[in-house]
Amino acid sequence: MRIRRETPADRTAADAVHLEAFGDDGPLIARLLTSLRAMPRSPADLALVAEEGGEVVASTLCTRSLLDAPRRLLDVAVLSPVAVKPGHQGRGIGTALVRTAIEEMGKTEVPLLFLEGDPGFYRRVGFVEAGPLNFRKPSLRIPDLAFQVVKLPAYQDWMTGTLVYAREFWDHDCVGLRDPEA
């Protein structure tokens, strides 16, 4: 397995991984990916793929969002979405992909990497619950334990506050969990 930066030639294969991995939500995630890739470029941008035998089997993006900190708005990154092709799950590919994303983001001036996801998985790769560290989630629909962060080398103690997702997440209603009964 090899992890590397996504190239424009990888996008169709990476999108197919997300479509397959997210099942019924795949088309929604594909639209989100298109919007995230169209955002203005920033130091918080990172797109990675994992390939085996020349085939893209996993994909993730980091994109710019904001932290409404007491001193000023800060550029931060959000890791989302993360997908591993179903036939390749459970073999450490997703773990390696996320660890590589954290390592690569640590080489930038971006101080924080956020996500909302399964704490059972993401805690194993370095994420911690964000709320107890004085970060506020951008939506009440995000379960407290799912709102997670990694402090990167550029982090300073005053950098706390409310995460403000990029508009693209809101435009596609990809924030938190919707109540299926509502």
Q: State the total domains in the chain.
A: 1
Full-model pTM: 0.95
Note whether residue 179 is domain-resident. Answer: no
**Tens of pLDDT along 113-154?**
999 999 999 999 999 999 999 999 999 999 999 999 999 999
pLDDT for 180: 72
Q: Is residue 177 part of a domain?
A: no
Question: What CATH number does the domain containing 95 carry?
Answer: 3.40.630.30
Write the pLDDT tens digit of every residue in 39-73.
999 999 999 999 999 999 999 999 999 999 999 99
Both tokens of 77, joined, read 């990154």
Instruction: Name the DSSP letter for residue 173.
Output: T
SS3 (DSSP) at 145: helix
DSSP 168: H
pLDDT at 179 over 90: no
Domain containing 13: what range?
A: 2-171
**In sequence order, which residues have a C-beta less than 8 Å from that of residue 148 and are 6 or more positions away?**
114, 115, 116, 117, 119, 122, 123, 127, 128, 129, 130
**Residue 154 placed within a domain:** yes
CB-CB contact of 146 with 119 (8 Å):
yes
The phi, psi pair for 47, rounded to 5°, reads -125, 125
